[in-house]
Structure 1
Amino acid sequence: MILVTGGTGFIGRELVRQLVSMGKPVRTLLRPSTNSPALPKGVPVEVAVCSLLDERGLRAAMKGVDTVFHLASAEHQSTGADLTQVDVEGTHQVALAAAQAGIEHFFFLSHLGADRASAYPVLRAKALAESAIVHSGVPYTIFRSGAVFGPGDYLFSGLTRLMRMLPIAFFLPGDGGHLVQPIWVEDLVTCMLMALESNAYENQVLSIGGAEYLSLREILKIIENATGMRRIPVEVYPATVRVFALWYEQTFHHFPLSLFWLDYLSSDRTCPVDTIPRMFGLMPARFNQQSEYLKYVSNPKTKRKQ
């Protein structure tokens, strides 16, 4: 049995779908909530309901489990995120429960640039979570991933919604020149599944990203080509962008992006482009090759092809 936390998220849903298609029995951990969970449709999975800090609930959720994929995170909740409770303490409790349950392999999804000394909350929280896993004694594989794109993503769909909200100009934090390394969600999940089937990646921290480095300016150009929207890039101080985003979110409660996107774009987030081909024998997709989904984000009334 495989336990997936964060199984209702963008990456988690794809992971659960592929695990089930491989014939793997899957249980997903859901936090107690009054909202209906966004489980993958038509995919048979077991469900365990408990919070990441519920020691007894976690022990029950891991009954009969030999592998854990821990994807749960609060970073997409923006100013409402409690990174300390969810990403740091939550991961510590999940890893501790996994070690006590004798879990054979613990997978964790982190970020390129994770660093305990980072000035940026998400990157610091991810590094602290990594440390909790490494010191728990459970066999682990940690994926430090580039920015993940695909239908339902957070960063690239959020940028598209932000462009739709700003009809003339797009305000770049700084010169928009910092580099990210977008990775297609199916490529990321494929790498995780290949690591599941091999002991070669045990007790390793793997930095992986897509086949190219892209600046924010280049990303916006690809979004424009995919959606037909055209915006004038205007450079402004990052602090100004942050203040505007914070004001908008607190006033209207639905800013298209988590404020943590500014942290992610504050410096280059890359690794060698040959990492996935070299380690997994896979040629990752480029962002412009798989960007068609963004036109449905820019125009929600457009019907997606079946």
Structure 2
Amino acid sequence: MIMVTGGTGFIGNVLIRQLSNLGYPIKLLIRPSKASPNFPIGVPLEVAISSFSDAKGLRAAMKGVDIVYHLASAESLGRKAELTPVDVQGTEMLVQAAAQAKIDRFIYLSHLGADSSSAYPALKAKGRAENAIRNANFPYTIFRSAIAYGERDHFSNGLAFLLKISPFFVPLPDNGSMLLQPIWVDDLVNALIWTIDMPQLANEIIEIGGPEYLTFKEICLIISEKIGVKRQFFNVPPVYLNWLTEILEIITPNFPTSVFWMDYLASNRTTALDALPRMFSLNPARMNQRLDYLEGKNFRKNWWKFILRRKRTIPRWD
């Protein structure tokens, strides 16, 4: 039995679908909520309900579980995110329950740049969560991933929305010169799944990303071309753009950027280009090959639907 946390989110949905297609029995861990979670449609799975602060509930959820995929995070809530209770303390509680259940493998999705001493809250929280996993008494694999993109992501869809509604000019921090290494969600999920059958990756921290280094400006240009808009870019000091992002998050519900974007864009977020081919014999997709889902999308209409839907729900872990 495989347990997945954060399975109602963007990456979690893809992971659960692929695990199900391969015939794995799946248990989805969700927090108690009055709202209906975003379950993967048409996928047979077992559901366990427990908060990360409920030790008894987590122990019960671990019954029959052999492998845990821990993807849950509060990051998507932006400035409202409670990273310490969810990403740090939640992981510590989950680790304790997994250790007591004597699971076979604990697989955690982290970020490039994760460090418990980082000055950036999201990366610091991920680093502290990693430490809890490394100190546990079970085999683990930690994936420090570059930013993932795909049909339901916040990254490429958020950028496309901003580029679409902007009045010809788009602000970029430090001229958009920082390097990123976007990874197609299917490539990321394949690596996560194949790890199950790779005992040599037990007790390892793996850094993975896509097959190319792209500046943030280059990514904006690729997305602009895909959605059929032309924009001029101008430099804005990161601190001012961070302030603007915080203001927009306050006055606009579920604005498609978050304060954590500035953390990611504060420096280069890259790793070795050959990581996926070398470790998984996987030839990863280039970003401009996998953005067809952006074509013809009505971002304004979809955004309002997203806002109205999220207003009726209670924030989840994804």
Paired residues of 2:249 and 2:258 also in contact (CA < 8 A): no
SS at match of 1:28: strand
Structure 1 residue 147: Cα displacement = 0.5
Whole-Å separation in 1 of the counterparts to 2:296 and 2:69:
30
After TM superposition, the structure 1 = structure 2 runs for residues 76-225 of structure 1, keeping only pairs within 5 Å, are 76-225=76-225
Structure 1 residue 165: Cα displacement = 3.0
Residues 98/297 of structure 1: CA separation in 2 closer, same or farther (3 Å cut): farther
Paired residues of 1:164 and 1:298 also in contact (CA < 8 A): no
Structure 1 residue 283: Cα displacement = 0.3
Match for 1:117: what amino acid?
A: S
Match for 2:143: what amino acid?
A: F
Match for 2:32: what amino acid?
A: P
SS at match of 2:106: strand
In the alignment, is residue 68 of structure 1 matched against residue 96 of structure 2? Answer: no
Whole-Å separation in 2 of the counterparts to 1:212 and 1:251:
36
Residues 129/139 of structure 1: CA separation in 2 closer, same or farther (3 Å cut): same
After TM superposition, the structure 1 = structure 2 runs for residues 255-266 of structure 1, keeping only pairs within 5 Å, are 255-266=255-266
Paired residues of 2:161 and 2:300 also in contact (CA < 8 A): no
Match of 1:295 in 2: 295
| Gap regions ≥5 residues in structure 2 | 303-318
Structure 1 residue 297: Cα displacement = 4.7
Match for 1:249: what amino acid?
A: E
Higher relative contact order (CA 8 A, sep 6+): 2
After TM superposition, the structure 1 = structure 2 runs for residues 8-23 of structure 1, keeping only pairs within 5 Å, are 8-23=8-23
Match for 2:125: what amino acid?
A: A
Deviations 1:131-165 (A, max 9, x none): 00000112100000001010111222111122223
Structure 1 residue 299: Cα displacement = 4.0
SS at match of 1:272: coil
Match for 2:191: what amino acid?
A: C
SS at match of 1:293: helix
CA-atom RMSD in angstroms: 1.3
SS at match of 2:156: helix
Deviations 1:244-271 (A, max 9, x none): 1111211122321121011101100101
User: With structure 2 as the length reference, what TM-score do the two structures score?
Assistant: 0.92
Paired residues of 2:246 and 2:258 also in contact (CA < 8 A): no
Whole-Å separation in 1 of the counterparts to 2:115 and 2:194:
26
In the alignment, is residue 3 of structure 1 matched against residue 15 of structure 2? Answer: no
Match of 1:254 in 2: 254
Paired residues of 1:13 and 1:40 also in contact (CA < 8 A): yes
Paired residues of 1:14 and 1:186 also in contact (CA < 8 A): yes
Whole-Å separation in 2 of the counterparts to 1:298 and 1:40:
23
Structure 1 residue 56: Cα displacement = 0.7
Paired residues of 1:157 and 1:297 also in contact (CA < 8 A): no
Whole-Å separation in 1 of the counterparts to 2:52 and 2:297:
31
Match of 2:315 in 1: none
| Gap regions ≥5 residues in structure 1 | none
Percent of pairs with identical residues:
49
Paired residues of 1:161 and 1:297 also in contact (CA < 8 A): no
Whole-Å separation in 2 of the counterparts to 1:297 and 1:60:
43
SS at match of 1:98: helix
Whole-Å separation in 1 of the counterparts to 2:296 and 2:144:
29
Structure 1 residue 47: Cα displacement = 0.5
Structure 1 residue 240: Cα displacement = 1.1
Match for 1:74: what amino acid?
A: A
Structure 1 residue 276: Cα displacement = 0.4
